[in-house]
Amino acid sequence: MSTLPEADNFIEEFIVEDLKNGKHDGRILTRFPPEPNGYLHIGHAKAITINFEIAKKFGGSSNLRMDDTNPSTEETHFVSSIEDDIKWLGYEWAGETLYTSNYFGELYELALQLIDKGLAFVDDSTAAEIAEQKGDIDRPGINSPFRDRPATENRDLFERMKGGEFADGSKVLRAKIDMTHPNLLLRDPVLYRIKHETHHRTGDEWCIYPLYDFAHGQSDSIEHITHSLCSLEFRHHRDLYNWIIEALGIFPSRQIEFARMNVDYLITSKRRLKLLVDQGLVAGWDDPRLGTIAGMRRRGYPAAAIRNFCLRTGVTKRDNQQEFDFLEHNVREVLNVSADRYMAVLDPVKLVITNYPEGQSESLSSDNNPEDASRGQREIPFGREIWVEREDYRKEPQNRKYYRLAPEKDVRLKSAYIIHVDGHEEDADGTVTQINATYYPDSKSGEDTSEIKAKGTIHWVSVGQGIDVAVREYDKLFTDPTPMDHEGRDFLEFINPNSVTTITAKGEPGLADVVADEALQFLRKGYYTLDKDSTKEKVIFNSTCGLKSSWKG
RNA sequence: AGACCCAUGGUGUAAUUGGCAACACAACAGUUUUUGGUACUGUCAUUCAAGGUUCGAGUCCUUGUGGGUCUACCA
**CA–centroid distance for A197 within its chain:** 32
Nucleotide B75: closest residue by CA–C1': A212
Q: Answer yes or no: do A353 and A336 share one domain.
A: no
CATH number at residue A431: 2.40.240.10
Q: Catalytic one among A56, A147, A235, A260?
A: A260
Q: Answer yes or no: do A491 and A447 share one domain.
A: no
Closest-approach nucleotide to residue A341, Cα vs C1'? B35
Residue A552 forms part of a structural domain: no
The dihedral of CA A240, A246, A252, A254: what is its sign?
Answer: positive
Closest-approach nucleotide to residue A330, Cα vs C1'? B25
Distance CA A445, CA A414 (A): 8
Distance CA A476, CA A291 (A): 11
Asked if A84 and A48 count as a contact pair (C-beta separation under 8 A), the reply is no
Q: Answer yes or no: do A487 and A393 share one domain.
A: no
Q: Catalytic one among A35, A389, A473, A508?
A: A35
Measured in angstroms, what separates residue A149's CA from nucleotide B3's C1'?
Answer: 30
Count of domains observed in chain A: 3
Residue A296: how many other CB atoms lie within 10 Å? 28
Residue-level pLDDT at A2: 61
Measured in angstroms, what separates residue A185's CA from nucleotide B69's C1'?
Answer: 13
Q: Answer yes or no: do A348 and A485 share one domain.
A: no
Question: A376 in the Ramachandran plot: left (φ > 0), alpha (ψ -120 to 50) or beta?
Answer: left
Q: How many CA atoms lie within 13 A of A317 on its CB side?
A: 9
The amino acid sitting at A120 is: A
Nucleotide B14: closest residue by CA–C1': A8
Question: A327 in the Ramachandran plot: left (φ > 0), alpha (ψ -120 to 50) or beta?
Answer: alpha
Measured in angstroms, what separates residue A322's CA from nucleotide B48's C1'?
Answer: 21
Q: Report the length, in residues, of chain A.
A: 553
The amino acid sitting at A116 is: D
Q: Answer yes or no: do A129 and A212 share one domain.
A: yes
Which segments of chain A have a pLDDT < 50? 1
In A99-225, where does DSSP find H-type helix? 104-116, 127-134, 151-162, 216-222
Nucleotide B73: closest residue by CA–C1': A193
Residue-level pLDDT at A1: 46
Residue A550 forms part of a structural domain: no
Please state the ipTM of this predicted complex: 0.97
Measured in angstroms, what separates residue A407's CA from nucleotide B7's C1'?
Answer: 58
Task: Point out which residues pair with A412 in neighbouring strands.
Answer: A418, A457
Measured in angstroms, what separates residue A306's CA from nucleotide B73's C1'?
Answer: 38
Measured in angstroms, what separates residue A270's CA from nucleotide B70's C1'?
Answer: 21
Nucleotide B2: closest residue by CA–C1': A138
Helix (H) or strand (E) holding A308: helix A303-312
Active site residue A174: no
Q: What spatial distance separates the first Cα and last Cα of chain A, rounded to whole Å?
A: 62
Q: Answer yes or no: do A113 and A253 share one domain.
A: yes
Sheet holding A29-32, edge to edge: A29-32, A61-66, A98-99
Nucleotide B4: closest residue by CA–C1': A236
Distance CA A12, CA A5 (A): 9
Active site residue A6: no
Q: Answer yes or no: do A322 and A439 share one domain.
A: no
Residue-level pLDDT at A194: 98
Task: State how beta strands A377-383 and A361-367 pair.
Answer: antiparallel
Q: Answer yes or no: do A201 and A229 share one domain.
A: yes
Taking each helix axis from N to C terminus, what angle separates A151-162 and A104-116, rounded to the nearest 10 degrees?
Answer: 160
The DSSP code sequence of A512-531 is GG--TT-EEEETTTEEEEE-
| Residue among A185, A176, A173 nearest A241 (CA) | A185
Answering whether pTM is above 0.95, one says yes
Quote the domain boundaries for residue A509: 266-340+469-545
Distance CA A416, CA A366 (A): 9
Distance CA A217, CA A229 (A): 11
Residue A4 forms part of a structural domain: no
Which nucleotides of strand B are protein-proximal, with an atom < 7 A from a CB?
1-8, 10-14, 17, 24-28, 34-39, 67-75
Q: Answer yes or no: do A453 and A419 share one domain.
A: yes
Q: Cβ neighbours of residue A280 under 8 Å, at least 6 residues apart?
A: none
Closest-approach nucleotide to residue A416, Cα vs C1'? B34
Closest-approach nucleotide to residue A370, Cα vs C1'? B38
Distance CA A462, CA A381 (A): 6
Distance CA A5, CA A303 (A): 25
Measured in angstroms, what separates residue A407's CA from nucleotide B31's C1'?
Answer: 29
Largest CA distance in chain A: 102
Active site residue A260: yes
Q: Answer yes or no: do A234 and A321 share one domain.
A: no
At which of A436, A459, A482 does a domain end?
A459
The dihedral of CA A135, A140, A141, A142: what is its sign?
Answer: negative
The DSSP code sequence of A254-271 is EEEEEPPEEETT----HH
Asked if A71 and A209 count as a contact pair (C-beta separation under 8 A), the reply is yes
The amino acid sitting at A457 is: T
CATH number at residue A175: 3.40.50.620
| Interval A177-194: pLDDT, tens | 999 999 999 999 999 999
Asked if A528 and A544 count as a contact pair (C-beta separation under 8 A), the reply is yes
Residue A140: how many other CB atoms lie within 10 Å? 13
A425-457 burial code (b ≥16 CB/10 A, e <16): eeeeeeeeeebbbebbeebbbeeeeeeeebeeb
Distance CA A181, CA A272 (A): 34
Could you tell me the CA-to-CA distances from A432 to A28, A352, A463 in Å, in that order? 67, 13, 17
Asked if A490 and A482 count as a contact pair (C-beta separation under 8 A), the reply is no
Task: State how beta strands A385-389 and A467-474 pair.
Answer: unpaired
Measured in angstroms, what separates residue A235's CA from nucleotide B66's C1'?
Answer: 21
Q: Answer yes or no: do A353 and A390 share one domain.
A: yes
Q: Answer yes or no: do A521 and A417 share one domain.
A: no
Closest-approach nucleotide to residue A231, Cα vs C1'? B69
| Residue among A259, A267, A269, A268 nearest A320 (CA) | A259
Closest-approach nucleotide to residue A134, Cα vs C1'? B71
At which of A459, A491, A509 does a domain end?
A459
Q: How many CA atoms lie within 13 A of A361 on its CB side?
A: 15
At which of A258, A274, A305 does a domain end?
A258
Distance CA A181, CA A141 (A): 8
Q: Catalytic one among A134, A155, A270, A350?
A: A270
